[in-house]
Amino acid sequence: MAASPYRHAGTIGLLEVASIATGIEVTDRVLKEATVEVAFARPVSPGKYVVLFTGSVEDVRSSLRVGAEVAGDHLVDRLFLAAVHDEVLAALARPVEAPELDALGVIETFTVASTLSAADAAAKKAAVTLIEVRLASGIGGKSYVTMTGAVSDVEDATLAGASGAEEAGLLLRRVVIPRPHESLREVLSRHDEAI
């Protein structure tokens, strides 16, 4: 597993806001409310703003509450994870150097928060390696997570990860590809290259 470039205290909060100006205001209030560290805060497609922050359970919960109040009607989604799996933040640094692909799993959702939640649930459910967590930027506001492992583990992980997004009506697609082509790993690593 790759080390995460994000420092975290095991707890993350995320606010996804429909207005960039409101997102910047939310970030300020999140920082003023409690002792949290912003892992990232940036505009994403299609004109939304996402802020992800870490800290103690109490501080993250408090900042999340205040940030959601400031966001008001512009709040798209939110997430509170009290014990986030280490691989989730490492995969945000994308892509994690993956072993040979025995099976490949993909969970695609309509919001950043639902993808992070899916990634966390998947990593906690089965012995999979999260390859990448891609958050909204350049993909129309959607997000996805890719993972690899044994076929049965990838199947269990993607089912667990997708269930919460599906219940909330935010799941776009869940895919498991057993024995992917040997070149697919290289193709996935080039997703950020300009055309």
pLDDT digits (tens, 9 = 90+) for 126-149: 999 998 888 877 777 789 999 999
pLDDT of residue 5: 43
Residues 66-103 pLDDT 10s: 999 999 999 999 999 988 888 887 777 666 666 677 89
For the chain, give the percent of residues with pLDDT over 90.
Answer: 62
Q: How far is CA 39 from CA 36, 51, 118, 163, 188, in A?
A: 9, 8, 19, 26, 24
Are residues 53 and 116 in contact, defined by beta-carbon separation less than 8 angstroms?
A: no
pLDDT of 2 strictly over 50? no
**Beta strand pairing status for 129-135 and 48-55?**
unpaired
CATH label, 86-189, candidates 3.30.300.30, 3.40.50.300, 3.90.1150.10, 3.30.70.1710: 3.30.70.1710
**β-sheet bridge partners, residue 176:** 105
Looking at CATH, the fold of the domain delimited by 12-81 is given as Alpha-Beta Plaits (3.30.70)
* Token pair 């993972």 in the structure block, residue: 147
Choose the weakest-confidence range: 105-114, 156-165, 185-194.
Answer: 185-194
105: closest CA among 147, 135, 153? 147
pLDDT tier at 194, thresholds 50, 70, 90: very low
pLDDT of 59 strictly over 60? yes
pLDDT of residue 7: 47
Are residues 118 and 130 in contact, defined by beta-carbon separation less than 8 angstroms?
A: no
CA distance linking residue 85 with residue 88, whole number of Å: 6
Question: Average pLDDT for residues 177-192, to the nearest whole number?
Answer: 80
Task: Give the three-class secondary structure for 129.
Answer: strand
The alpha-helical segments, DSSP class H, found in the chain are 20-33, 57-71, 86-92, 112-125, 151-167, 184-189
Considering the chain, tell me which residue range(s) the CATH 3.30.70.1710 domain(s) occupy.
12-81, 86-189
